[in-house]
Amino acid sequence: MNNEYLLAAAEALAPRGEAREIAAIDLGSNSFHMIVARIINGSIQVLSRLKQK
């Protein structure tokens, strides 16, 4: 998953400077990816990652 999409989503939900937890899901034709992350001041801290084929 592209970090730019996660940052854009987080900034749309919370102003810069506030910590925010988000989840992103990518449903492909052959796979499933999910990431849970904390966004703090424009930095991403991955909390959990799941891949399934």
List the CATH number of the domain containing 33.
3.30.420.40
Q: Helix or strand or coil: residue 11? A: helix
Q: How many CA atoms lie within 13 A of 28 on its CB side?
A: 9
Query: 33 near 40, Cβ under 8 Å?
Result: no
- What residues make up the domain containing 34? 3-52
Number of domains in the chain: 1
pLDDT tens sequence for the chain (53 residues): 566 776 677 667 666 667 788 888 889 899 999 999 888 877 788 999 999 98
The pLDDT, as a whole number, for residue 34 is 92
The pLDDT, as a whole number, for residue 51 is 92
